[in-house]
Structure 1
Amino acid sequence: MANEAVLQQVEQLLEQVLADEQGYFLVSMRVKPTNNLKVFLDGDNGITIEKCVQVNRKLYKLIEESGMFPTDDFSLEVSSPGVDEPLKMHRQYVKNTGRDVEVVFADDTRKEGKLIAVTENDILLEHTEGKGKKAVTQQALIPFSNIKSTTVQIKF
C-alpha cells in the first residue's frame, strides 16, 4: 500500500480513537519504508506519556484489525512533538500563547519575542529593542503568510 494511502487510513482510525478526546489532536504523522508509523499528538493543555500509551494501544489494535498490513508487520510510535519542533498547527499557536518563541520569516530573517495573541490570520509578538534605559517594548502583528516557522524558546 502506498504511503499516502496508509497515512490516510491511519488518520481515519486515529479520529475514531480521539473521538471522545476533544482536547487532543494530530500534529503530524509519517511512515518509514519498514512500516514504522510515527504519530505526533498534542493537547490543548499538553499531553502526557500515559495518554500517548493509551492512544498507541487503541490505535495499534485498530490497525491490526483493519488488515492494512496483512502480515501484521508494522510498528507504531505515538508521542508528542519535541520542544524543538516548529509549531505546525493553529491550535499549537493558541496553546503556546504567553510563551517565548522565535519566528523565522519567509525571507529567513528572525524575530524573538513573547507570543501575546493568535487570530485566524496572524500572531501578535511582543519584543524588546535595545538594552537598559533605551529598551523599548514593541508589538508586531505577523501574518501567518509571512511565517516560515515558529519554535518555542525554552529559557533557563
Structure 2
Amino acid sequence: MEQSSKVRDLVEEALALNESLFLIDLSISANNKIQVLVDGDQGVPLSECIRISRNVEHNLDREIEDFSLEVSTPDISHPLKEKRQYRKNVNRILNIKTSEEELEGTLVEVDDEKIVLQWKTREPKPVGKGKVTVEKTATINYKDIKEAKVKIVF
C-alpha cells in the first residue's frame, strides 16, 4: 500500500484526540491488511478502537486501493514495547529477559531510563542452618531488556 504514511497520519490524528492513548505498532501487509495496535494509560475502551478505525477507514478510498483494517489492543501475552506500558503496569509482576538473565518481580519504579523490580527469595542464613527470606531489588535499563511480559496471576 502506497499510503502507509497517510495511514500513520490518520492513526496519529485519531490518537491526538485522546492523550491517554498511544501507538504500539502499525503494519501493512503485501495484501493491504492494515493492523493497528494501540494501548492506553488506563486501557483502551472498544469505543476508542472504533473511533480510530473510522478515522482511518473514512479517509481512505477503497475504490483506489482495497484494504482490510484491524484496530486492536495488545493482549496480556504481548511483550511490553513502549515505556508508557511500563508506567501503567507499576505494582504488577513482570517477567523480564535480558541478555544475561531472566528475572521475575514486582515493578515498583519506572522512569525514562530504567525500571526497578522487587521480589522476595529464600536464601541460606549467613550464620547457622536454615533459610531466611530476603528482599531483592534489580534496576534494569530499557536498552538491556530483550523482552518484558506481565505475569498473569490467578
The interval holding the TM-score normalised by the smaller chain is 0.7 to 0.9
Distance 2:88 2:149 in 1: 13
Partners of 2:10 and 2:55 within 8 A in 1: no
Distance 1:58 1:12 in 2: 10
2:87 paired residue among 84, 94, 106: 94
Matched, 1:62 2:62: no
1:37 paired residue among 34, 39, 47: 34
The equivalent of 1:150 in structure 2 is 148
Distance 2:17 2:115 in 1: 30
- AA partner of residue 80 (structure 1): T
Residue 126 of structure 1 deviates from its aligned partner by: 0.5
Question: What's the TM-score, normalizing by structure 2?
Answer: 0.87
Mapping 1:1-150, distance limit 5 Å? 1=1, 6=4, 8-64=5-61, 71-107=64-100, 109-130=101-122, 134-150=132-148
Alignment deviations for residues 52-81 of structure 1 (CA, whole Å, 9 cap, x no partner): 1121112211233xxxx6534101000001
- AA partner of residue 81 (structure 1): P
Partners of 1:117 and 1:123 within 8 A in 2: yes
Whichever structure has more helix as a proportion of its residues is 1
Question: What's the TM-score, normalizing by structure 1?
Answer: 0.86
**2:143 aligns to what SS in structure 1?**
helix
Consecutive unaligned residues of structure 1, counting only runs of 5 or more, are: none
Partners of 2:14 and 2:52 within 8 A in 1: yes
Q: Aligned residue pairs: how many? A: 148
Identity %: 33
CA RMSD of aligned residues (A): 1.9
Alignment deviations for residues 83-135 of structure 1 (CA, whole Å, 9 cap, x no partner): 1101100111111111110000023x210000001111110001122279622
Residue 37 of structure 1 deviates from its aligned partner by: 0.5
Consecutive unaligned residues of structure 2, counting only runs of 5 or more, are: 124-129
